């Protein structure tokens, strides 16, 4: 099986047409006609991940976050992205990324989060204008549970070191939950409109807590923690169509943010 075949399998599930205009999903580095020996799955491409790919003899890294997000004007090794691109080319390692297309597709990242939290009767929180069956975020219902108990469940489920949440919300029971993988603060208003009691996401700013915290509980579980499940989705998709391909989850991937 070739690199382009793995790409086609992923895109059959999460078409690149679903990605946001600012995004850069797809093949980042490598020859699409190269035969794949094994695949390493990770959230990001890092020096440790590339080293692990070499050690495991994986010549394809499949990630959620694109290695090349903004345009490169040179390949001189002047920054980390350039050095990683050069290293992958030198070692004949291809890199493929499925980003906001994997966020927007049904059964994508937010749907995976919803499933882990046992959220039922889910709807897309912010449907795409031209495709209402795809979009960012998910909202749905759970069996009513006290706020603190649900927050503890979220913290444990996603192994969050420190869960930030809005303290000023008057809600004490949670029945309706909105979720969005990654940086989902822009969907807080949509979650309020959808009558959610809480939104679970990452990368929430102080002023978001201050502005909306009295209208909805905001739980910030971190960007890394909310999107690590992308690897599980990609593994299922590839294994379904290419069961004989060797797949590995990166064991050297680490959250770049530490909590003291």
Short-list 60, 1, 55, CA closest to 234: 60
Spatial contact of 204 and 185, defined as CB atoms under 8 Å apart? yes
Q: How much is the average pLDDT of 116-120? A: 98
Give first-to-last CA distance, the chain, whole Å. 45
For residue 176, the surrounding DSSP H or E stretch is strand 173-183
Average pLDDT, rounded, for the chain: 97
Contacts of 14 (CB under 8 A, 6+ apart): 98, 101, 102, 104, 105, 108, 237
The rounded distance, in Å, linking the Cα atoms of 50 and 58 is 9
Q: What tens digit of pLDDT does each residue of 119-159 get?
A: 999 999 999 999 999 999 999 999 999 999 999 999 999 99
The pTM of this model reads 0.95
Residue 170: its pLDDT value, please?
A: 84
Q: What tens digit of pLDDT does each residue of 210-246 get?
A: 999 999 999 999 999 999 999 999 999 999 999 999 9
Spatial contact of 123 and 179, defined as CB atoms under 8 Å apart? no
Spatial contact of 227 and 237, defined as CB atoms under 8 Å apart? no
Contacts of 104 (CB under 8 A, 6+ apart): 14, 18, 19, 20, 128, 134, 135, 136
Given a cut of 90, whether residue 60 has pLDDT beyond it is yes
The torsion angles phi and psi of 129, rounded to 5 degrees, stand at -60, -40
Given a cut of 90, whether residue 89 has pLDDT beyond it is yes
Residue 169: its pLDDT value, please?
A: 86
**Which two tokens mark 199?**
């939104």
Residue 83 binned pLDDT confidence (cut-offs 50, 70, 90): very high
């Amino acid at each position: 099986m070739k690199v382009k075949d793995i790409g086609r399998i992923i895109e059959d599930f999460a078409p690149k047409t679903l990605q946001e205009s600012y995004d850069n999903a797809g093949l980042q580095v490598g020859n699409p006609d190269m035969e794949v020996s094994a695949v390493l799955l990770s959230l990001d491409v890092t020096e440790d991940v590339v080293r692990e790919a070499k050690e495991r003899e994986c010549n394809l890294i499949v990630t959620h976050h694109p290695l090349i997000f903004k345009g490169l004007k040179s390949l001189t090794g002047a920054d980390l992205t350039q050095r990683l691109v050069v290293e992958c080319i030198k070692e004949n390692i291809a890199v493929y990324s499925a980003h906001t297309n994997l966020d927007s597709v049904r059964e994508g990242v937010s749907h995976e989060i919803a499933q882990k939290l046992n959220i039922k009767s889910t709807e897309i929180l912010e449907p795409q204008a031209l495709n209402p069956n795809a979009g960012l975020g998910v909202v749905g219902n759970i069996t009513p549970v006290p706020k603190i108990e649900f927050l503890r469940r979220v913290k444990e489920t996603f192994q969050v070191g420190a869960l930030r949440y809005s303290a000023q919300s008057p809600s004490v029971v949670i029945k309706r939950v909105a979720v969005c993988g990654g940086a989902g603060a822009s969907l807080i208003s949509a979650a309020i409109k959808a009558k959610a009691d809480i939104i679970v996401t990452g990368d929430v700013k102080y002023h978001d807590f201050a502005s909306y915290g009295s209208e909805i509980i905001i739980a910030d579980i971190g960007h890394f923690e909310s999107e690590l499940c992308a690897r599980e989705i990609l593994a299922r998709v590839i294994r379904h169509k290419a069961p004989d391909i060797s797949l590995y989850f990166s064991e050297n991937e680490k959250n770049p943010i530490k909590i003291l």
